[in-house]
Amino acid sequence: MLLTCETCNSNAGRKIDYQIKNQSDLIDFGKILTGHVSESEPSGSLLINDERYPITVQRKDKSTEIKIKAYDHEKINQLKDFMTGLSVNGNSHGFKFNITKTVKLDYRLLKIAFLKSGFLLITAWLGYRYAFDERLKIVREQISNPEDELLGTCFWIEPNKDTKFPLRSIISVSHPIPSFLVTYDYGAVILPNPYSPSDFYATIRKKWMRNQPVNLTGKIYDWPQKPILFLDTQHG
């Protein structure tokens, strides 16, 4: 557990944190419909005969299970009768239906949500002395004001076939620029470390061009499972 500013945390939750949940729900939804296992049971909608039904989907016993949420028993009974009729009459071959899911997803705000997550993970690891480092002032401002584009996308690395890194880790990079990479399933955020230059993100903009492959040297650490606050507990 970390102490954070109540107002800032509330604003971030309202403006950006839900972006991660929406992305996760959308990915899980797609995984299940393509035959992959997911622990969640995401929701969506089913369209049959111009009638739309709210549903949840899950992977169960090597099959995809579609469950209709009870909201109008008369309509559900009509659907049951219709599907039973298809089965009895042998008319189900070639029958088509549509399953969709709609989420509100802003990819710029999604990246800022990951920036906040990475900032808190490193803070849990190193402590509040790290969080209030002057080099992180613009990060704190960007998280507090996600509607303002203060950092652009220079804090984010999008993976591709030439850019591979361990997932859900912290990489302490020593070369080419001292920094931290906090990695996720679909990308990584870049944060300054105690040895980074004072103009950290300006340096990144100058040295790293977009879509340019970069070779990194560093050490890999697991995400902290609880606050360690390493710098805060050091004496002297």
* DSSP per-residue letters across 167-235: SSEEEEEEESS-EEEEEETTEEEEEE-TTS-TTHHHHHHHH--TT-----EEEEEEPPSS---TTTT--
- Same domain for 147 and 217, yes or no, is yes
- Same domain for 50 and 133, yes or no, is no
- Same domain for 164 and 118, yes or no, is yes
- Same domain for 179 and 77, yes or no, is no
- Mean pLDDT confidence for 71-75: 78
Q: Is residue 155 part of a domain?
A: yes
**Number of C-beta neighbours around residue 118 at 10 A:** 24
Percent of the chain with pLDDT over 70: 90
Task: Identify the three-state secondary structure at position 67.
Answer: strand
Task: Identify the three-state secondary structure at position 160.
Answer: strand
Q: Is residue 208 part of a domain?
A: yes
Q: Is residue 196 part of a domain?
A: yes
Domain boundary among 50, 66, 100: 100
Length of the chain, in residues: 236
Q: Is residue 230 part of a domain?
A: no
Global pTM value? 0.82
pLDDT digits (tens, 9 = 90+) for 163-197: 678 999 999 999 999 999 999 998 999 999 999 99
User: Distance (Å, rounded) from C-alpha 180 to C-alpha 126?
Assistant: 12
Q: Is residue 178 part of a domain?
A: yes
- Same domain for 196 and 157, yes or no, is yes
pLDDT of residue 233: 87
Task: Show Cβ contacts of residue 204 under 8 Å, excluding neighbours closer than 6 positions.
Answer: 154, 177, 179, 190
pLDDT of residue 131: 95
Q: Is residue 57 part of a domain?
A: yes
Q: Is the pLDDT confidence value at 2 over 60? A: no
Band the pLDDT of 148: cuts 50, 70, 90: very high
Domain boundary among 82, 100, 118: 100
Residue 199's domain spans which residues?
A: 6-14+107-222
pLDDT of residue 160: 73
- Same domain for 44 and 95, yes or no, is yes
Measure the CA angle with vertex 65, ends 185 and 44; round to 5°: 65
Domain boundary among 56, 79, 100: 100
Count of domains for the chain: 2
